[in-house]
Structure 1
Amino acid sequence: MKTNRAWKKQDINLRPGLTINGKWHHQRYIIKKKLGEGAVGAVYLCEVNGKLAALKISDKGTSMTVEVNVLKSLQKVQGSRLGPYLLDVDDWVSPYGHMYSFYVMEYLKGEEMSRFIQNNGSAWVGVFMLQLLEDLGRFHQSGWIFGDLKLDNLIVVSSPTRVRFIDVGGTTQIGRAIKEYTEFYDRGYWGMGTRRAEPSYDLFAFVMVFINVFYPKRFERGGQSERILFKRIDDVKALIPYRQVLKNALTGKYLSSAEMKQEITNILYSTQKRRSVRASAKEDAHAQFLMEAGGVTIVAIGYYLFSLLL
Structure 2
Amino acid sequence: MKMRDSISKKQECKLLPNQRVVGKWHKNSYRIIKQLGYGATGTVYLAEFGNELVALKIASDSMSISSEVNVLRHFSKVQGPSLGPHFIDTDDFVTTQGVYPFYVMEYIQGESFLPFVRQRGAEWVGILIVQLLKDLEKLHQEGWVFGDLKPENLLVTKKPYQVRWIDVGGMTRVGRSIKEYTEFFDRGYWGLGSRKAETSYDLFSVAMLIINRSYPARFEKKGHDSLRTLLTKFREKTELKPYESIFRKGIKGEYSSGLVMRKELIQIIQTTSFTPQVEKQLKSPLRKQQKGLKKKKRKKKKLHIVGFMETLVVASFLLIIYILYLFGQTM
How far the C-alpha of 1:126 sits from its partner, in A, is 1.4
Which stretch of the first structure deviates more once superposed, 225-234 or 116-125?
116-125
How far the C-alpha of 1:44 sits from its partner, in A, is 0.8
Given that 2:18 and 2:33 are in contact with CA atoms closer than 8 Å, whether structure 1 keeps it comes out as yes
Which stretch of the first structure deviates more once superposed, 155-164 or 253-262?
155-164
Given that 1:74 and 1:81 are in contact with CA atoms closer than 8 Å, whether structure 2 keeps it comes out as no
Query: 2:326: which partner in 1?
Result: 305
Task: Give the partner amino acid of 2:328.
Answer: S
CA distance in 1, matches of 2:330, 2:158: 15
Query: 1:68: which partner in 2?
Result: 69
Query: 1:14: which partner in 2?
Result: 15
What secondary structure is seen at the aligned counterpart in 1 of 2:101? Answer: strand
Q: Name the CA shift for 1:177/1:136 in 2 (closer, same or farther; >3 Å).
A: same
CA distance in 1, matches of 2:12, 2:19: 10
**TM-score, with normalisation over the residues of structure 1?**
0.87
Alpha-carbon displacement from aligned partner over 1:129-165 (angstroms, at most 9, x marks no partner): 1011111111111211000111110111111111210
The 5 A counterparts of 1:165-180 are 165-180=165-180
Task: Give the partner amino acid of 2:249.
Answer: N
Given that 1:46 and 1:55 are in contact with CA atoms closer than 8 Å, whether structure 2 keeps it comes out as yes
Q: Name the CA shift for 1:58/1:274 in 2 (closer, same or farther; >3 Å).
A: closer
Q: Name the CA shift for 1:4/1:90 in 2 (closer, same or farther; >3 Å).
A: closer
Alpha-carbon displacement from aligned partner over 1:179-215 (angstroms, at most 9, x marks no partner): 2111111101110001110010001111222222221
The 5 A counterparts of 1:1-310 are 12-77=13-78, 79-96=80-97, 98-223=98-223, 224-272=225-273, 301-310=322-331
Given that 2:160 and 2:326 are in contact with CA atoms closer than 8 Å, whether structure 1 keeps it comes out as no
CA distance in 2, matches of 1:3, 1:177: 30
Structure 2's unaligned 5+ residue stretches are: 277-308
Which structure is larger by alpha-carbon Rg, 1 or 2?
2
Q: Name the CA shift for 1:5/1:181 in 2 (closer, same or farther; >3 Å).
A: same
Given that 2:199 and 2:257 are in contact with CA atoms closer than 8 Å, whether structure 1 keeps it comes out as yes
Aligned length: 296
How far the C-alpha of 1:233 sits from its partner, in A, is 1.4
Given that 1:145 and 1:172 are in contact with CA atoms closer than 8 Å, whether structure 2 keeps it comes out as yes
How far the C-alpha of 1:72 sits from its partner, in A, is 1.8
**TM-score, with normalisation over the residues of structure 2?**
0.81
How far the C-alpha of 1:5 sits from its partner, in A, is 6.2
Q: Name the CA shift for 1:3/1:117 in 2 (closer, same or farther; >3 Å).
A: same
How far the C-alpha of 1:6 sits from its partner, in A, is 6.6
Task: Give the partner amino acid of 2:329.
Answer: L
Which stretch of the first structure deviates more once superposed, 184-193 or 10-19?
10-19
How far the C-alpha of 1:274 sits from its partner, in A, is 11
CA distance in 1, matches of 2:85, 2:183: 25
Given that 1:32 and 1:45 are in contact with CA atoms closer than 8 Å, whether structure 2 keeps it comes out as yes
Percent identity, aligned pairs only, is: 45
CA distance in 2, matches of 1:249, 1:4: 43
Given that 1:90 and 1:101 are in contact with CA atoms closer than 8 Å, whether structure 2 keeps it comes out as yes
Which stretch of the first structure deviates more once superposed, 115-124 or 163-172?
115-124
Structure 1's unaligned 5+ residue stretches are: 276-286
Given that 1:155 and 1:165 are in contact with CA atoms closer than 8 Å, whether structure 2 keeps it comes out as yes
CA distance in 2, matches of 1:264, 1:45: 35
How far the C-alpha of 1:273 sits from its partner, in A, is 11
Given that 1:57 and 1:103 are in contact with CA atoms closer than 8 Å, whether structure 2 keeps it comes out as yes
Alpha-carbon displacement from aligned partner over 1:80-130 (angstroms, at most 9, x marks no partner): 43101111111111232x122111111111111221123333231211110
How far the C-alpha of 1:17 sits from its partner, in A, is 2.1
Given that 2:58 and 2:100 are in contact with CA atoms closer than 8 Å, whether structure 1 keeps it comes out as yes
Q: Name the CA shift for 1:61/1:5 in 2 (closer, same or farther; >3 Å).
A: closer
Alpha-carbon displacement from aligned partner over 1:220-269 (angstroms, at most 9, x marks no partner): 11121111111121122222101111110100000110010000011112
CA distance in 1, matches of 2:268, 2:9: 53
Across the aligned residues of Structure 1 and Structure 2, the Cα RMSD in angstroms comes to 2.7
CA distance in 2, matches of 1:37, 1:271: 39
CA distance in 2, matches of 1:299, 1:217: 31
Q: Name the CA shift for 1:205/1:175 in 2 (closer, same or farther; >3 Å).
A: same
Given that 2:174 and 2:197 are in contact with CA atoms closer than 8 Å, whether structure 1 keeps it comes out as yes
